[in-house]
Structure formats: C-alpha cells, structure tokens
Structure 1
C-alpha cells in the first residue's frame, strides 16, 4: 500500500522554533507539554493506540490504521478511504525525534500557505495548509517534551474538501490527539 504524507514547509519549522518553549531539552516551560507518554520510547503501534484510542475511531469513520517507522520519525496513519494517493483520505500523527529530524523532513518545494501560529489546548503550534498537486492537507505541529515535535494532519484528494473544512478537521483532530497524549 502506498501512503504519501504531505510535509510542512521550511516556514513552519522556523515558526515552531520561535514558539518552542526552550532550547534546553531538560527544562520544561510554563506551557503544558505533551507529557503523558515517553515519546522517546513510543513505537508506532503504541502511538496509534495512544493518539486515537479504539473508542474514538468509529466516530472518525476510520477503515484502516497503519503504523509507520522511519529513522527519527514515528508515525500513524488513520485512513478513512484507503488506497493510492489520488483516492486516500484520512489523518496522521508523526512524532519527530528532534528539530533536526523535523527540518530533514521539510519539503521546500511543497506548495502551501505561510504557517500561522495556533494554540492546541495549552500548546503553542503552527498551522499550515498545503494545496499540492493531487492531494491537499492541513497540518498542525507542536513542540513536545524531550526536544520532540508532534505533527498532526488531515488530508484528502484535491478538491474533495474545501480549504476551510480541511483546516477545521485538522484543528479538531489535533485537539483530540493532544488531549489523548497529555495528562
């Protein structure tokens, strides 16, 4: 099965560095970090279970949950419509092990809007809309504990959802995931 996942732009990375609580990974800020789980040791299956528990999957109309691991990035894809890029639709959560991993995943050629600051619960974050060829996505990235970053995303084939609907879905999904991963 082929999953493609639109990534955030360089501007999102810059914005996140600005809203990151501290460059000292051992210091916690006044902002409430994602702390319920040790994100350092979270395998893909555990991320899938923690970010969107079984009880929350049916209301999202999920047909498939796909854990994924790359070096430095742990992800989970929650598909509403599975299949190739031109038809699949769903949500994703990715945990980046470091700012370097986040920067390394940046697709500078991706077409999208400039990121804007948003709050996800008590967490500062960056929201960005990507209207790429064939697939549109809206993603929100927040700084987490231990120098990690969590990117939450909603995507659909181009034109299936309006920009406003895509952003609303990403915001609702991010709020839910954030609540699930936070004490």
Structure 2
C-alpha cells in the first residue's frame, strides 16, 4: 500500500528525519562511549602517572595517585578536562588541563608523593649521580613552601608557564641544583 503525502509534507518529514537521525546516532555513540570501566580508567591513570612503567617499578605512588584523583573527579570530568580522550584512555597528545582537573591532579599528586623527594630523584638523574641529595633537599625545603609548590604544579598543568609560582619553583630548583653539585 502506498501512502500519499503532499509534497510540502514529505519535505517536512525528510527534513525532520535528516536532522533527527544524526542526533540519535550521536546520542547512541555518546551513551556507548560513556559506558566506562572504572578499573580500566584507574589502570590507565596508574600507567600515565608512572610513565607506563608501573609494572616494573613499585607502583604504590601511581596507584595512590589514581585512587586519590578518582575520589576528586569522575572519568567524565577527566575526559572533559583534558586528561582522557573520548574512549577514556589517556590522551596521546599533551593538553592543558582545565582548572578543576588541574587542581584535583595537584591535590592527588601531593597526597601521594613528596615533591622535594621527586625533584631530588630527577636532579640525581640529570646530574648523573653527582648531586648532593641532602644539600639539594635542604635547599629546596628552605626555598619552597607547600602553597608555592601547589600553585606552580596547578599552573604548569594548565600550561600557564608565565605564572609567578612556576618561575619561583624553577629558579629554586635550578639554584639548589647548582649549589648541590660539587665542583671539581
């Protein structure tokens, strides 16, 4: 049986279908993408924090970080804030994070690791073991307070490298490194 419609009415039906179907498909794809496995997101964050080497090293800091971060923000907020892509995997390209995610990241990081200790380890690698670790730690402890570290970390994650706290932290690390590497 053939349904007769007036030409104007048929155009309206086609227009409605043409505008509605892509939206329905997008909604279906979005709903499918939002079905996310919390353990998979946690594991991705562990690997991201540990630099993909959590299996070979002690993963406790990375696991702590992932747990702390997921207590502060949802996987959807991590996706929308620049950490995860549409499939809830870590973004391949580094992007500036939005403020709420950058602040949550900073709080999680500070809850699970000691900035001065991690900076010391990094400087030991950069100086090929010549760094006097105790002198460097003492120098940084005397130069940086928790507020400056928190502000610098958050600003860095937001790609705001011109923030005064970033400059203060960078200068402190550089000067403390120079003062803590024996000459000769």
Q: Which has the higher contact order (CA 8 A, sep 6+)?
A: 1
Flag the structure with larger Rg: 2
Q: Same fold (TM over 0.5)?
A: no
Higher helix share: 2
Higher strand share: 1
Q: Normalised by the size of structure 1, how large is the TM-score? A: 0.24
Q: Normalised by the size of structure 2, how large is the TM-score? A: 0.24
